[in-house]
Chains A and B, each alone.
Chain A
Amino acid sequence: MKRRGSPLLAVASLLVAAVAVAATRPHYGGTLHLSMRAAPASLDPNQPDWTTSRNVFSLIFDTLVTLDDQGRPLPSLATTWQAESGNLRWKFFLRRGITFPEGRPLTPDIVAVSLRAANPSWKVFSTDDAVIIERDSPAPDLPAELALLRNAIAERDAGKIAGTGPFVIAQWDPGRKLVLAARDDYWAGRPFLDSIEIEMGRNFREQMVSFDLGKTQVIEVAPEQARRVATAGDRVETSAPIELLALVFSGDPRSAADSKQRDALSLSIDRRLLNSVVLQNGGEPAGGLLPNWMTGYGFLFPVDVNLTRAQQVRAEIPETTVWNLGFDANDPIERVLAERIVLNARDAGLRLQLATGPADVRLVRVPLASLDARVALAQLTATLGFPPAKNDANSLDDLYAAENALLKSQRVIPLLHLRAACAVSKSVKNWTRVRDEAWRLPDVWLAAERP
């Protein structure tokens, strides 16, 4: 055969080294093994503690609306929607052809029943191809609210629950193990994975052991451990700071002295040190309830320790009260944080003592429920048991005013916003790095061994 040479080839060899890692299309098949700390007793997303298991619910159920990575509503089971009467009444048109795993069609009636169960105060009606939601007060953020997994559409029948999501329940051992199988007929396309096995109720240490042994491909990593795990060579994916760590009082200040004592405590806490030393920069110091990346105004709330000012305020109080500081005794890092706060307070002349029972002030961790700032604040106040913040308007000024009012109530002292982290095996592909801690498992696939 006659050979034809190209003069370019002589130069070309220099460029061969530029080829690095193959970019491959997703592969279908395989089982993904995950573990998590949460141990839900039920797979019903309509439960008080839904935020800790929302990643599981998202595999089985769909919501009418989803949010993109910037918190903007996108269609899901609803394809379009429109507001009427000053955001008091909303109409959501449903996607056609959606079915439950056993083939029953999703109807507007089922959607209405599901939403009423999750929101007893809402008026929800069904039409031929839509659901209508009426609220008592204007709800400009209703689409984002419907993206919360607690509002996922579920059919409940004789103790069983079914969703229209990408996976179907294959095995369920409450609080311990869940096995899910991909739905071939999922309306948004069959997931690449064949199945997912989730081990529940595993603490961070147990998860890490399982990961190191190659038994689990995705595990949760404690914020303070994320940097160490990454340094050890494992792939660690972290979210934006998405979980609020705060001190929450059991009630409003009972007196001027009580108010000043809370002020002094807030001023005395060295948030930067808590973050850098205790949490190994696993978060960011927080002066507000919502993180700055979500609102853009979070920096207006001061985070710096001011011991001098704290001591001045303390000096204005004739007699301070000894407060019991509650924390989760099962969380070792909370104990360390609580001990550090006690020391900070002592420097300001305040007396706190650790308590695992009834407490005057409690150290709490609350995951932010939404990438939509207004919905996140509303859910946060509900979780903390505060009265709903007045936030009917749709401007950032109003959101700031609502958050500022909550802080001025002195019911809560924000400390840090923590990142969620997980270690992901190298065989797991297309793990989407998102701002919140959401898993996007329908798009994940497992790499095949190259021959």
Chain B
Amino acid sequence: MRDTPIQLLLIEDNSPDVRLLREMLSRQAPGKFALVEVGSMRDAESHLAANAADIILLDLGLPDAQGLEVVRRAHAAAPRTPLVVLTGCDDELMADEALREGAQDFLVKGKIDTPELLRAIRYSTQRVKAELEMQQARDEAETASRVKGELLAELKAAYAETELFLRSIPSIVIGIDPQGHITRWNLTATNTFGLDDSSVHGRGIEDCGIRWLRPEMKAEITRWLTTESFYRCDNLPYERDSKMRLLGLSVLRIPAESTDQTGFIITGADITERMGLELQLRQAQKLEGIGQLAAGIAHEINTPTQFVGDNIRFLKDSWGPVAEFLDFCGTVQSECAIGPVSPEHLLRFCELHQKCDLEYLSEHIPKAIDLCLEGVKRIAKIVKGFKEFSHPGSEEKRAIDLNHAIETTISVARHEWKYCADLVTALDNDLPLVPCLVGEFNQVMLNLIVNAAHAISSAAEKNGTGKGTITISTRREGEWVEVTVADTGTGIPVEIRSRVFEPFFTTKEVGKGTGQGLALAHAAIVNRHQGQLWFESELEQGTTFIIRLPLEMGTPRP
């Protein structure tokens, strides 16, 4: 039971009625009600403005208000408090009106007993309470729905932002589930493959519409789906608009709590253009090298051509008088067979003999022949060296004799160094065969030799020194083979040492190099051979470039 009594406001101007009610309540429910009586509407209103009431009993005939007005005003003054009308007039119509105006019950004085009144009071109170609770529930539901709407809008905005973000990434971003079905597909993927989101969604990466050109694509995708964390796939060919293009992709396993939640993100780009550029650069570098060599070779071949030609000319010029003399010898011989030689013929014989210059010829014709043979040998050697050097670079590593390759490059590049430097070699004769892309290795060596020669020329120009020295050595160093190219040139200034291997970095004047030589040398040794390339340099003393190539094929990058 509740302790606090129910606050009951009785609005009634008729004192006997008041008394009667008070008695009824105190007898039947002693202490249950705290009864406040007011005799007019005005008093009721001022009371309600200051105090709460749990229930209001009211009469419809008050000095300052009558009938329905009483109900209306009381309801206005305390809209949540139940109203029970107590009146002397039994009027059904009025009762209905009063209930519509906010009253809970309509009781007729004298027709009700105490229990009836109490029940009416209890029902009214509970009905109002239920109404209030319902109202509150309605209010709460309304608030909840409003908040839900706001959250939903926020969520939508966040989703749109993520989508936009994902779509705008200039890389391909594809999501796949553990079975390889596409779950996400961004705009770059759409643009790259010409397939839109809706057409690929849910399809396997293998048959989503991309025309893969790798024959074992299924096995490749299996590799993606079984990767533990990260898988890189370069130069993956596919066809678009009847042209072969290349992709560079990374496949990343999405970390998740349980295995059925995992999936993969594939990111990457179409690298056709980039590969094309790289190829062009490599080609340009190669052409630059070949152009340089061609000029050198022209000069190298020039020299033997000149002296072979001169000597053959000498042999030709010499033969004329000799032939004439030999011819005359025949005449003299047949004359001798008959009798003595005539004095005129003897004189002529001596003249022709002298014209032959036989003494000189017998000494110099063998020399001239030797020179011719030597010249032809030299030309043959130059041509052979050039052929070996520019050996069509196979894309596959072969075990090669590094020393021989180096010697070939040295002789091919002779023109580049012979005027400014002596070239010393210290090649390890016991060097094992080294797995190598010989064409690329030769290019690197040529580059290093030419650079060494340039460094020495610069030093000679600057300090007026004479010839320098280029020293090339090879040796085995555990599982590596080490090749060094050392010069006695200017050395590399400290401030540019870190940039030496940068593409397009050059200290040579315009037109004297693309600035690609060392960058490509670095790429050739480090990326394509899994080797190492670095240098040690001291100003005014010189620079040594060191190449290390792994003896094992495919030794991992150190």
A, B co-complexed: no
| Residues in chain B within 8 A of chain A (CB atoms) | none
| Residues in chain A within 8 A of chain B (CB atoms) | none
